[in-house]
Amino acid sequence: MFPLKDNIPTTRFPIVTVALIVINTLVYFVLQRGGILSAPPDSGVIDYGWIPYEISHSGQQCVAQGQNIACGDISGQPSLLVTAFTSMFMHGSIVHLGGNMLFLWIFGNNVEDSMGRIKFIIFYLLGGLAALALQTVVDPNSAVPTIGASGAIAAVLGGYILLYPRARVLTAVIIILFFTLIEIPAMWFLVIWFGEQLLLGALGLTTPGNSGGGVAYFAHIGGFAFGLLAIRAFAHRRNDTYAATTA
C-alpha cells in the first residue's frame, strides 16, 4: 500500500515539512553523492550514520575498511552527538529517500499544523532520537549504520493517528498485476503500517541471520511509540476543517 494524499487541508503552508524534504534531498544528492540509480558511497554512511556498537563499546569507533566495517580504538570520527542527528538526514537509496519524503509530506503537514513550526522541529528531532535509542537497545552490538528519516517520520505517524484518526487516506494498492486506488481511514492505514513493523521486527529477532533487509524496524517502532506518547504535549491547535468533515 502506498499513500498518495489525505483529505485534511492545512490552515497554513507547512514550511518546516517542506524544508525537511528539501534538506533530506540535498543531503542525499549533494553531501552523500547519491544518484538515481546509484547508492551513496559506503564510507560516508559509516562515518555519519548511527552505529549502536559505538554506544555499547565506549571509546571505540567504526570506519569503512574496503567492503567491510572495522571497529576499535579509532580517532577522528564524528562524535555520537553529531551522528545522532546527521543519520536522520541520510538515506541509502533514491527509493529509501522517496518513500520517506512521501510519508513526511502526506502526514507531516497536518502534524506541523497542529503544533506550530518550532514545536514541530523539536517533536521531529526527539522522535528521531527515540527511534535510534530503541534500535540501539534491541541490537546494541550492531556495527551496521542506521540512517534515514523514517524513525522521525514514524513519530509523526504516531502523532497523526491520535490527532486525525477519522481522516481518510487515498491509497494505491498493488498486488502482483492488480492495481487500484481506494480511500481508507487513516486509523486503519497506520495501524496496518505499525503492525507490519512489529511483525517484521519480531521476525528479525527470531530468524537466525535475518537482517530484515537492512531496515531498522525497531527504529520505526521507537519513533511511532514516541509520537503516540508525546503528541498531546506538543499539539494544541484545532483544525476546524477536520472537525467539520468528520463530525
The CATH number linked to 209 is: 1.20.1540.10
In a domain, 60, yes or no: no
Verdict on whether the full-model pTM lies above 0.85: yes
| Torsion 107-162-150-126 (CA) sign | positive
> Angle at which helices 15-26 and 117-138 pack, to 10 degrees?
50
Query: For residue 149, which amino acid is it?
Result: A
C-alpha cell at 62: 567504526
% of residues, the chain, pLDDT over 70: 96
Query: Is residue 4's pLDDT more than 90?
Result: yes
In a domain, 55, yes or no: no
Q: Summarize pLDDT for 99-139 with one digit per residue, the tens.
A: 999 999 999 999 999 999 999 999 999 999 999 999 999 99
Is the CB of residue 134 less than 8 Å from the CB of residue 221? yes
Query: Is residue 81's pLDDT more than 60?
Result: yes
**Domain of 19?**
2-40+88-245
Give the closest residue to 196 by CA, choosing from 160, 143, 157: 157
In a domain, 47, yes or no: no
Q: What pLDDT shows up at residue 206?
A: 60
d(CA 23, CA 183): 30
3-state DSSP call for residue 146? Answer: strand
In a domain, 175, yes or no: yes
**Once rounded to an integer, what is the mean pLDDT over residues 60-69?**
88
Q: What pLDDT shows up at residue 214?
A: 63
Any alpha helices (H) in the chain, and if so which ranges? 15-26, 42-48, 53-56, 80-86, 94-115, 117-138, 150-163, 186-206, 217-234, 240-245
Which band of pLDDT confidence, cut at 50, 70 and 90, is reported for residue 247? low
Query: Is residue 208's pLDDT more than 60?
Result: no
In a domain, 229, yes or no: yes
Q: What pLDDT shows up at residue 211?
A: 41
Is the CB of residue 34 less than 8 Å from the CB of residue 91? yes
Query: Is residue 229's pLDDT more than 90?
Result: yes
In a domain, 48, yes or no: no
In a domain, 153, yes or no: yes
C-alpha cell at 176: 502482483
Q: How many structural domains is the chain composed of?
A: 1
Give the closest residue to 8 by CA, choosing from 198, 189, 243, 242: 242
In a domain, 114, yes or no: yes
